[in-house]
A and B are shown apart, each in its own frame.
Chain A
């Protein structure tokens, strides 16, 4: 445990790209090989269980890939060391936020993650609109998380303890739930508070969007899983939130068909994906929580992979519109294969993790209210529809004549994409592990 923190810290302060990658790899291997027993460390207020362990592994893996994918910044710009420092400090905050056992410390780390991602968007974004995006991300999330602080104070006053793993004993009133959960709902965007995410995704550089989609969104999910038991006191809020989630997802699905910006399309599709997942989580049951967690893991890899692949196209053609990037099948066929695999995984193709999680979530939502069958049919259908639309319009048709030249795929590109594709196929083992042997708390 201490070793890991030390190594992460080392990673945070190191300014060399190669060494940093090496250290990350080392941390990842260290994480994977160790058995996730509950660790307890009074000194730093740290504790780790299976949930945190899996999420930290995902995090380290994705920030490794994010660092690799922004190799262009290393080559082209002056501030490469500061960039690396920002990425690594984000990683450090994230790792710490999954290890703390105290709600107030969790809150601190949760908020601290905002600073590096803001720096990434403002510092290395592409368009001048990134300042607006920065304001959006800052104010939306802060607006949500200030009530959490009040809620924490209330909890401390009534309970006398802020121990994160025993929240089941909290005896809060109904509005507690909203106070506590609002921050996570904004982070894990609920319909209506999702504008910051789309803006941030569109304006962020590739590493920023990968980290946002792969990690930062999941922080909200993790928070909700931790404080889920407070919902028992607030049945009406629960119903409102679930309905808002499902119908918001339906609306966003239709809107997705209209987007022509590749990054915006991927961003809003990932928003939708996560929404149903929260609906399954709030119907409290063991299957629901585990299914939601499975989706969180799988989606973290899948969406960051899609952003990475979108960036590959963007670096080649310098355009993000679907209508310009056409006919790529003939020119870069192997990247097309990676695209197809990623998209299939997002749809929930056969041997992938998404499918299992999705089946569980469908069952949970139907067990809550049978009438939800209509939005669910709609959601599952349109999920395939716009993904196929994204894939097919890109790969077929005539290549735009205005783009005079095109790089072929580098080894690094395939390296990146394949490292997004492979883990999900193995992660099915984690699924079995989760369901057979472990209880999440």
Chain B
């Protein structure tokens, strides 16, 4: 047990140390405007070269630093969360291999190396989702890995197609026009990993994993891998129509998930849905042609999302593993410090002025208003921002509401001191990362010229949505005016029935078709024209022969025929 404790400590210290090293390295790179790109050619055959390389530029190095920060803090947190579990050591080893895969993915300059990290992420995430041994996590794991497998397949096929170009390094493709199939496949791969709309069922299902894993998955590893891929390939998407798919998919996802989060009661699922909507926002920014800004938002989002998960996980852990957010109330009395961190992080997420989310979100929205784009897009983005405010406020509202659902006899503990020490770095960063990143990495100022309405529009909408949020909570029943209220409610809560649609038809058709093919071909035609059919044919024909040979006349005929034949042969040869 002592050794196991040390394993957690070891990885934690290692990761946090690496974080410091890498951040200072990042500062150095930014100051000198350098990119480090190492290549080792492993195999070269017929003008195709397989290259293993390391790429350290402003994207990968800062991403790496944030991953190490988050992973180190989560190591600390999972020490607290998994404590006492029988698979204490296995968990940390899996977690570290998970982090290792994302590191492999981040620093790779070509698609084959990305595939290595990508596949590693899929497989380790599967193992982590099925960490608890029950049927629910088993199903969630299968859903997760099969959704991710679609992305893997897309990358595999696009690697096969890029073979014709002679290189897999995406830096090369900035000036080359790729064929649309490759771009489409990469977009689908990104969508599956990011859990956008046709494939978004797996992300809430993956909540079956232990909370530290969810924190990693949602903040910096699994879902951001999809965004990372899109950001890396974004120069190739310029001047193509195919990127509009991303736009449509992301806006629909934002509205679906944000609106669904207003009705969700599972505390982890609310955070999962908010991840979905934030990722959609990030992709919209990429679509608007601002990949750097998207990346900025990605990192701030990663950090405060992991803090949120840690807070949520602590709440769950303290309240006997119950994930129902209606059970958790009056936290301001029972756990003031915890709800303080939780509320602050929530405010940071919705973009409260001068907290972390504000810098990226405000910048993003103002840039998008300034860029020439259509009104539907702007309207959707405003709606999305408003919805974010609404469900975040609802979350805080539920947490601090004075209706107490506590049991009669109950131990009330606030966040303990060791735990607070464990997560303080992350919570500190989640408040201030926007500020520091904005001034350190985005210090080139740019002027934003906006009209007065556009400037104040966001603020007004946010305030309006805040009122709506409180209204939703108070008058849930009167919300839907027409139609069957229960169907509406379930539809919003269950992500427009996406989990149902993405599992049942596939399962039923494949099983049904499989049985059909098995009966029709393997047991049917192939057997009929193969073994069994051959047997019957030969048996029946030999039976006929046998019958024939017993007849007197036929045997005479045969004898005389052969006699004549030999005679003829002897005569004419």
**Which of B137, B141, B510 counts the most chain A CB atoms within 10 A?**
B510
Is the CB of B171 closer than 8 A to any CB of chain A? no
Is the CB of B112 closer than 8 A to any CB of chain A? yes
Interface 9-mer from A42-50, A150-158, A356-364: A356-364
Is the CB of B119 closer than 8 A to any CB of chain A? yes
> Which residues in A have their C-beta under 8 angstroms from that of B153?
377, 380-381
> From A250, which residue of chain B is reached at the shortest CB distance?
B517
> Which residues in A have their C-beta under 8 angstroms from that of B515?
258
CB within 8 Å for A340 and B531 given contacts A287-B45, A376-B157: no
**Contact mask for chain B residues 135-173; partner A; CB cutoff 8 A; 1 contact, 0 none:** 101100110011001101110110111011000000000
Q: Is the interface of A mostly helix, strand, loop or mixed?
A: helix
State which of B119, B123, B138, B163 has its C-beta within 8 Å of the C-beta of A392: B138
CB within 8 Å for A254 and B43 given contacts A363-B163, A388-B145, A396-B135: no
Query: Is the Cβ of A351 less than 8 Å from the Cβ of B527?
Result: no
> Which residues in B have their C-beta under 8 angstroms from that of A254?
510, 513-514, 517
**Contact mask for chain B residues 513-532; partner A; CB cutoff 8 A; 1 contact, 0 none:** 11101100110001101110
> Which residues in B have their C-beta under 8 angstroms from that of A350?
101, 115-117, 119-120, 123
Is the CB of B133 closer than 8 A to any CB of chain A? yes
Query: Is the Cβ of A436 less than 8 Å from the Cβ of B510?
Result: no
Minimum distance in angstroms from A24 CB to a CB of chain B: 32
A327–B133 Cα distance when bound, in Å, is 8
State which of A193, A255, A340 has its C-beta within 8 Å of the C-beta of B518: A255
CB within 8 Å for A139 and B149 given contacts A195-B522, A362-B157: no
A396–B272 Cα distance when bound, in Å, is 25
A367–B161 Cα distance when bound, in Å, is 8
Is the CB of A315 closer than 8 A to any CB of chain B? no
State which of B43, B134, B164 has its C-beta within 8 Å of the C-beta of A435: B43
> From B101, which residue of chain A is reached at the shortest CB distance?
A350
Query: Is the Cβ of A380 less than 8 Å from the Cβ of B156?
Result: yes
Query: Is the Cβ of B156 less than 8 Å from the Cβ of A140?
Result: no
Query: Is the Cβ of B517 less than 8 Å from the Cβ of A330?
Result: no
> Which residues in B have their C-beta under 8 angstroms from that of A139?
531, 534
Query: Is the Cβ of B142 less than 8 Å from the Cβ of A389?
Result: yes
> Which residues in A have their C-beta under 8 angstroms from that of B120?
349-350
State which of B45, B126, B530 has its C-beta within 8 Å of the C-beta of A193: B530
Query: Is the Cβ of B522 less than 8 Å from the Cβ of A384?
Result: no
A150–B444 Cα distance when bound, in Å, is 80
A149–B19 Cα distance when bound, in Å, is 68
Query: Is the Cβ of A195 less than 8 Å from the Cβ of B527?
Result: yes
A340–B126 Cα distance when bound, in Å, is 11
> Which residues in B have their C-beta under 8 angstroms from that of A367?
163-164
Query: Is the Cβ of A344 less than 8 Å from the Cβ of B149?
Result: no
How many A-B residue contacts, CB cutoff 8 Å?
Answer: 130
> Which residues in B have their C-beta under 8 angstroms from that of A251?
517, 521
Is the CB of A240 closer than 8 A to any CB of chain B? no
Is the CB of A373 closer than 8 A to any CB of chain B? yes
Query: Is the Cβ of B119 less than 8 Å from the Cβ of A349?
Result: yes
Is the CB of B511 closer than 8 A to any CB of chain A? yes
Is the CB of B181 closer than 8 A to any CB of chain A? yes
Is the CB of B570 closer than 8 A to any CB of chain A? no
State which of A135, A193, A347, A381 has its C-beta within 8 Å of the C-beta of B150: A381
A367–B48 Cα distance when bound, in Å, is 14
A436–B130 Cα distance when bound, in Å, is 41
Is the CB of B405 closer than 8 A to any CB of chain A? no
CB within 8 Å for A392 and B160 given contacts A254-B517, A257-B514: no
Is the CB of A256 closer than 8 A to any CB of chain B? yes
> Which residues in B have their C-beta under 8 angstroms from that of A382?
510
Please provide the 6 A-B residue pairs with the shortest distance between their CB atoms, ordered closest to farther: A362-B160, A396-B138, A258-B514, A363-B160, A363-B163, A380-B153
Q: Could you list some 12 contacts between A and B, CB below 8 A?
A: A140-B531, A193-B530, A195-B531, A196-B531, A254-B510, A258-B515, A350-B119, A376-B157, A384-B145, A384-B149, A388-B126, A392-B141
B interface residues with partner A (beta carbon < 8 Å): 42-43, 45-46, 48, 101, 112, 115-117, 119-120, 123, 126-127, 130, 133-135, 137-138, 141-142, 145-146, 149-150, 152-154, 156-157, 159-161, 163-164, 181, 510-511, 513-515, 517-518, 521-522, 526-527, 529-531, 534
A interface residues with partner B (beta carbon < 8 Å): 135-136, 139-140, 192-193, 195-196, 251, 254-258, 286-287, 327, 329-330, 340, 344, 347-351, 355, 358-359, 362-363, 366-367, 373, 376-377, 380-382, 384-385, 388-389, 392-393, 395-397, 432, 435-436
